[in-house]
Structure 1
Amino acid sequence: MDFLRPTTLPEALALRAGRPDAVPIAGGTDVMVELNFDHRRPGALLDLTRVAELGEWSRDGELIRLGATVPYARVITELGAELPGLAMASRTVGSPQIRNRGTVGGNLGAASPAGDTHPVLLAVGARIELASQRGVRTVGAGEFYTGVKRSVLADDELITAVLLPAAGGPQQFAKVGTRNAMVIAVCSFALAIRPGRREVGAAVGSAAPTPRRTPGAEEFLRAELPWDRPGPLPDSLKRRFGELVADATEPIDDVRGSAAYRRHALSVLARRTLTWAWDDHRERQRSCV
């Protein structure tokens, strides 16, 4: 197995084009597990850790450009205010050692339905930047995933960045597992509310062949939330929101949980995260008075 170590993005893209059998690696938290268990034996590994431009983030107005190899630990410490939902999801990933190495770009490259960051990227309307020697294109998170551990990423492309809007309101992330972290999610849920625009984003993970948004639940909240009078939400509204989230799923039975349990758990997560997000919004409104 060859080990390729480019130091610039053009060099990395040239190697990617010339070695379609090479697997990109940054933190290695997914790839090394597959290698150790002999689930994958690629002809080469394409190490991206020396490509400086992939390990930085920047802000242009309301848009955050997050380099593909920025680790979860930096998302938590440096972007908690701008991207609170992504920071919440990052805190649930593995151990501190994994968070110091693992990346959002790697999570996207694996494209697992259970990836912790995927529901947040969907809920906030993130776009994925893909580059090759042919040029650069961006793909909405909703179009990126095409199946179980499959995506639109071409053989000669690298994920170079994720483009996310800075939070315009409360964001929440929650997942169910056998413990709070260091565990693959049985199911997960992300919610983003932008009261100034009356926008809602909601998405589920580990409950369908791909991570997915829940458009029916989003439309329900847009129409039913008391935007002009942010008082406590009635239980009936939260319950209906949970039902619509569960209805949007397509889970399976596996060793981590049954399909019925995943639907029930996501309904509960939807109600809880909505309560937390709306309470956050109400607190912000009171502090502005």
Structure 2
Amino acid sequence: MDFLRPASWSEALEAKANHPDATPIAGGTDVMVELNFDRSRPGTLLDLTRVERLAQWSRDPRPGGAVLRVGAGVPYSRLIEELGTSLPGLAVAARTVGSPQIRNRGTLGGNLASASPAGDGHPPLIAAEAEVELESVRGTRTLPVSEFFTGVKRTALAADELVSAVHVPEATGPQQFSKIGPRNAMVIAVCTFAVALHPRRGTVGTGMGAAAPTPRAATEAEEFLAGELTESRRWERPDPLPESVVGRFGELVARAAIPIDDVRGTARYRTHALGVLARRTLGWAWDEYRNGTATAGRQGCA
């Protein structure tokens, strides 16, 4: 096995162009598991830990609201500590990832590139309408995160491309995330759900994990809830949500799922659980919107 360790981003892109089959490694929390269990034996490893640019983030003020560019090498622990207020949904999801040691090593870019349907970082990115920045020696392009995933552990990455960053709109309303697993931590999720309220434009975002071959939004549920909030003028007067609205939202989320049976849970259980998570996270988010409280503190495990 060859081991490449570029010192700069340009060197990393050149290495990937010259070795398109190279497997990138940053935190190693996914790659090393595959190696240790002999599930994968790449001919070349491309170590990105020396590339400082990947570990940086910046805030870009825009007329419609600021957008944060988060480098692919930013670990979960920094997402929590440094971006918990600006990207609360992502921070809540990051808190549910592994142990403190894993959160210190694991990166958002690695989570994206692995493209597991159960990746904890994916649903809040979809709910926030994030974009993935991909780069090669040929140039840079961005894709909506929902289009980045093309199948189970498959992405739109070209052979010579690397994930360089994620562009995430700064939260303008409450965001929440919840997951179900056999225990509260150190597990792959049975299913996950994220919701984001966007009161400035009167829309709602959702994201589901381990519910289909790729992470996805529950579009019909989004449109239903946004319509109800607009028609009832609850964006302006945030009264409690009727149980009928919360229940219908959960039903539409469950309807959007096409899960499978596997060792972690049955398709039937996942469908039921997603409806429960949808109602629960909507309740948390709406309470925060009514009370004007921050969203970064809740743990997010169900």
Match of 1:45 in 2: 45
Are 2:277 and 1:269 equivalent residues in the alignment?
Answer: yes
Displaced runs of 4 or more, over 2 A? none
Q: Could you say what secondary structure the match of 1:54 adopts?
A: helix
Structure 2 CA distance for aligned equivalents of residues 277 and 120 of structure 1: 13
RMSD: 0.8
Write the letter of the residue equivalent to 1:33.
V
Quick one: which of 252, 255, 272 aligns to 1:247?
Answer: 255
Per-residue CA deviation, residues 154-184 of structure 1 (Å, 9 max, x unaligned), is 1100000000001000000000001111110
Q: TM-score under structure 1 normalisation?
A: 0.98
Match of 1:220 in 2: 224
Structure 2 CA distance for aligned equivalents of residues 228 and 108 of structure 1: 36
Q: Structure 2 unaligned segments of length 5 or more: list them.
A: 294-302
Structure 1 CA distance for aligned equivalents of residues 164 and 250 of structure 2: 35
Between the aligned residues of both structures, percent identity stands at 66
How many residues are paired up? 285
Give 1:56-205 correspondences, 5 Å limit: 56-61=56-61, 62-205=66-209
Write the letter of the residue equivalent to 1:148.
V
Q: Offset of 1:21 from its aligned partner?
A: 1.8
Structure 2 CA distance for aligned equivalents of residues 44 and 139 of structure 1: 27
Q: Offset of 1:261 from its aligned partner?
A: 0.5
Q: Structure 1 unaligned segments of length 5 or more: list them.
A: none
Q: Offset of 1:203 from its aligned partner?
A: 1.2
Per-residue CA deviation, residues 61-120 of structure 1 (Å, 9 max, x unaligned), is 101000000000000000000000000000000000000000010000100000000001
Q: TM-score under structure 2 normalisation?
A: 0.93
Q: Offset of 1:238 from its aligned partner?
A: 0.5
Structure 2 CA distance for aligned equivalents of residues 119 and 282 of structure 1: 23
Write the letter of the residue equivalent to 2:167.
L
Per-residue CA deviation, residues 10-44 of structure 1 (Å, 9 max, x unaligned), is 10000000011210000000000000111111111
Match of 2:299 in 1: none
Match of 2:298 in 1: none
Write the letter of the residue equivalent to 1:74.
R
Match of 2:300 in 1: none
